[in-house]
């Protein structure tokens, strides 16, 4: 499986702080049957540089090779919605047109539609990170609909489907899946112990709701299309 959202690099954000922590997370991801991970550290102001992310990836991949950890890393970032569009472009997934976009957890900003419009006009495709954990969207998940109609995509957290973020987030995630408001399920993992990867329980939950084939799409085919920068099959 491909994890499109993961804080695996150490010492760059609120994810792992030491190499050992990143290695523990990497092993947890492998145990969770993940083979490729997009490294998506938080991109805030002032933004972490693309070079720093590339260095972090090279360093970790060397450590993986030395320890036979079968995990490939792909560059990306979790772009805070206040970051300028051109800065977001440099922090897209694998240098392509898709990027991870983060709104605040507390509220859904009134500028959300404008930001999606700006990104789409710039030829970029925002993937909205964990909408099921946003307070306003928990109350009214349909607020996401207009953004999806503008061409944005949605990424749920596997742990939300597993119930780790509580019943409301789980119900919201299930609703978004059923309504076609979510296109990916990823870990948003921050460590092997705190906020660990939960792809397998997430996959099981998604399969119960949508069937096995559709569930696999959320974790395999759709993320693959993104990291290969292929056209999104809008219907
Ligand atoms: Fe994240």
Read off the pLDDT of residues 44-100 as tens digits, 9 standing for 90 and up: 999 999 999 999 999 999 999 999 999 999 999 999 999 999 999 999 999 999 999
Instruction: Tell me if the bond preceding 177 is cis, omega within 30° of 0.
Output: no
Under CATH, domain 2-227 is a member of which superfamily? Answer: Metal-dependent hydrolases (3.20.20.140)
- Where residue 110 falls among pLDDT bands split at 50, 70, 90? very high
Residue 42 alpha carbon to ligand 1 centre in Å: 7
pLDDT given for residue 4 in this prediction: 98
pLDDT given for residue 41 in this prediction: 98
Residue 208 alpha carbon to ligand 1 centre in Å: 25
Whether 234 shows a pLDDT value over 90: the answer reads no
Ligand 1 (single-atom ion) residues, CB below 5 Å: 78, 188
Contact 30, 6 (CB under 8 A): no
Residue 213 alpha carbon to ligand 1 centre in Å: 26
Residue 231 alpha carbon to ligand 1 centre in Å: 24
Residue 185 alpha carbon to ligand 1 centre in Å: 12
User: Would the pTM of this model clear 0.95, i.e. be above it?
Assistant: yes
Percent of the chain surpassing pLDDT 90: 98
- Give me the sheet containing 2-6, strands edge to edge: 2-6, 36-39, 72-75
Sorted by where each begins, the domain ranges of the chain are: 2-227
Residue 233 alpha carbon to ligand 1 centre in Å: 25
For residue range 100-109, list pLDDT tens digits in order: 999 999 999 9
Instruction: Give the whole-angstrom CA distance, residue 223 versus residue 26.
Output: 18
Residue 216 alpha carbon to ligand 1 centre in Å: 21
Q: Which of 129, 127, 125, 128 is nearest to 97 (CA)?
A: 125
Residue 40 alpha carbon to ligand 1 centre in Å: 7
Instruction: Give the whole-angstrom CA distance, residue 104 versus residue 205.
Output: 26
- Where residue 235 falls among pLDDT bands split at 50, 70, 90? low
What 49-56 contacts at long range (C-beta under 8 Å, 24+ apart), as own/partner pairs, is 50/75, 50/90, 50/91, 52/12, 53/9, 53/12, 53/77, 53/91, 56/9, 56/10, 56/11, 56/12
């Amino acid at each position: 499986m491909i994890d499109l959202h993961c804080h695996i690099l150490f010492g760059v954000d609120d994810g792992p702080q030491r190499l050992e922590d990143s290695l523990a997370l990497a092993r947890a991801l492998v145990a969770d049957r993940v083979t490729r991970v997009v490294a998506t550290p938080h991109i805030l102001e002032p933004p972490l540089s693309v070079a720093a992310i590339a260095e972090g990836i090279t360093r970790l991949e060397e450590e993986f090779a030395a320890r036979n950890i079968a995990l490939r890393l792909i560059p990306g970032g979790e772009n805070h919605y206040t970051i300028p569009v051109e800065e977001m472009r440099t922090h897209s997934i694998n240098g392509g047109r898709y990027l991870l976009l983060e709104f605040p957890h507390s509220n859904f900003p009134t500028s959300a539609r404008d930001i999606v419009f700006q990104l789409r006009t710039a030829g970029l495709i925002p993937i909205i990170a964990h909408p099921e954990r946003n307070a306003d969207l928990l109350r009214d998940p349909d607020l996401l609909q207009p953004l999806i109609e503008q061409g944005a995509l949605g990424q749920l957290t596997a742990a939300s489907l597993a119930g780790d973020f509580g019943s409301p987030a789980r119900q919201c995630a299930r609703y978004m899946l059923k309504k076609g408001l979510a296109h990916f399920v990823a870990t948003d993992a921050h460590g092997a112990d705190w906020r660990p990867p939960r792809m397998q329980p997430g996959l099981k939950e998604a399969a119960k709701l949508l069937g096995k084939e559709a569930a696999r799409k959320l974790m395999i085919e759709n993320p693959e299309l993104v990291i290969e920068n292929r056209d999104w099959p809008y219907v």
